[in-house]
């Protein structure tokens, strides 16, 4: 699958305000967007860090994907997001090549992006996200 860039790294955090402030103070990161998505159980802050981007993710409750991740592993690296031209088209290529997908089709992700996740078993234990601009 042709990847344009690493779009962002996703990091699970316990306290979003504190994490935003830490990235600002330590790395000069700037808050790009902040959004709460109730049906995904997550509040996220997209931080510009130099030419890159870190997506800080806090759980809206324990029984959410990020909440379960935090309970199991604690705060830390959650996923890597690869930017592609068209998530739908790339998903078909990945499915045809036998990659294990979490999302069979693109869905609306944070910040108006089209996204889909691959199963960590497909990528050596790292949750991978495909992103294209909505």
Q: What is the binding site for Co ion (CB under 5 A)?
A: 10, 55, 81, 129
- Least CB distance from residue 80 to Co ion, whole Å? 8
Name which of 83, 25, 15, 75 is nearest 52 in CA terms.
83
User: In the complex with Co ion, which residue's Cβ is closer, 67 or 96?
Assistant: 67
User: In the complex with Co ion, which residue's Cβ is closer, 7 or 97?
Assistant: 7
Helix ranges restricted to H, 3-134: 16-27, 65-73, 87-96
C-alpha separations of 59 from 77, 90, 93 in Å? 14, 29, 32
- Least CB distance from residue 38 to Co ion, whole Å? 17
User: In the complex with Co ion, which residue's Cβ is closer, 35 or 104?
Assistant: 35
């Amino acid at each position: 699958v042709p990847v344009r860039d690493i779009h962002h790294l996703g990091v699970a955090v316990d306290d979003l305000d504190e994490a935003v402030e830490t990235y600002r103070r330590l790395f000069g990161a700037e808050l790009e967007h902040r959004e709460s998505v109730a049906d995904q159980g997550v509040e996220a802050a997209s931080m510009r860090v130099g030419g890159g981007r870190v997506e800080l993710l806090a759980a809206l409750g324990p029984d959410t994907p990020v909440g379960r991740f935090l309970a199991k592993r604690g705060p830390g690296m959650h996923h890597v997001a690869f930017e592609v031209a068209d998530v739908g088209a790339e998903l078909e290529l990945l499915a045809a090549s036998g990659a294990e997908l979490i999302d069979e089709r693109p869905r609306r992700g944070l910040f108006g992006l089209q996204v889909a996740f691959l199963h960590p078993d497909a990528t050596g234990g790292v949750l991978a996200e495909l992103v294209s601009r909505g």
